[in-house]
Each structure stands twice: as C-alpha cells, then as structure tokens.
Amino acid sequence: MSDIEKDCIFCGIIRGERPAEIVYRDDTVTAFKDKHPHAPVHLLIVPRRHIRSINDITENDGDIISAMVLKARDLAKEFGISRSGYRLTFNVERGAGQVIFYLHLHLMGGWYKDGD
C-alpha cells in the first residue's frame, strides 16, 4: 500500500478502518453518507481504486465513471429524490473545493422529496 493510500481518509473507509455510514458497496464502487452534509441527502460515491481526481482518469476508466454515475442514479431513486431532483458534482482540485484527493461523486438532494 502506498503512503498516499495509507493516509487517505476514503481509503480508510473503504478498507473498513474508519467509520462511515456505508449505503452501498460492490467490487467497483462504494457509497457512503457525507460526514458534513450540505443537503438533506448527501452521499459520496467512490471507486474502489485510489484515483486522485478527474484529472487523473484515463480512457480505460470509462467503466468506473459510468458505474459511479449509474449508482448515483439508483441511490437517488432509493433515497426518494429521483423525480424531485438532485445534483451530481465532481470537485476537481483545490480551486474547485476538492479537499479529499480521492475521486468522489457528490449526490445531493432532498430539499424536496419525490411526490411533493
């Protein structure tokens, strides 16, 4: 394991060494609740492999990005915010507000629940 992975908060969550409310996990992606939510529903979807940011993905990572977006769509439905609406955000590097350098997709919504 590299030093970066050893010290990485999200690596620790994926390895089960740091507490987190995990809502989904498979061989490709893990999703968990944001510790300091900016929305009533605020989930983070991360790949299994450590990738720093969108700047570091390659043409071979298309399946990972696709799996992250499809899982976000499914979780939006599961959390009852699919039709009312939600935001999907990648913050890319410090100037955009990225503070955890492990690729993650923010799923935020729940200001209105489906059916409202």
Q: Which residue out of 42, 50, 104, 106 is catalytically annotated?
A: 104
- Interface residue with ligand 5GP, options 9, 39, 65, 67 (CB under 6 A): 9
| Per-residue contact flags (x/-) with ligand 5GP for residues 39 to 78, judged by CB under 6 A | -----x----------------------------------
The contacts of residue 41 (CB under 8 Å, 6+ apart) are 76, 79, 81, 86, 107, 108, 109, 110
- Which C-beta is closer to ligand 5GP: that of 95 or that of 115? 95
CA Rg value for the chain: 14
- Per-residue tokens: 61: 């990572």
Going by C-alpha positions, the residue among 71, 76, 108 that lies closest to residue 91 is: 108
User: If you ran DSSP here, which 8-state letter would residue 112 be given?
Assistant: S
Regarding 35 and contact with ligand 5GP (CB under 6 A), the answer is yes
Q: Is residue 99 near ligand 5GP by the rule CB under 6 A? A: yes
- Binding part of the chain for ligand 5GP, among 23-31, 61-69, 74-82, 97-105 by CB under 6 A, reads 97-105
Nearest approach, Cβ of residue 116 and ligand 5GP (Å): 25
Task: Identify whether 104 is a catalytic site residue.
Answer: yes
Active site residues: 104
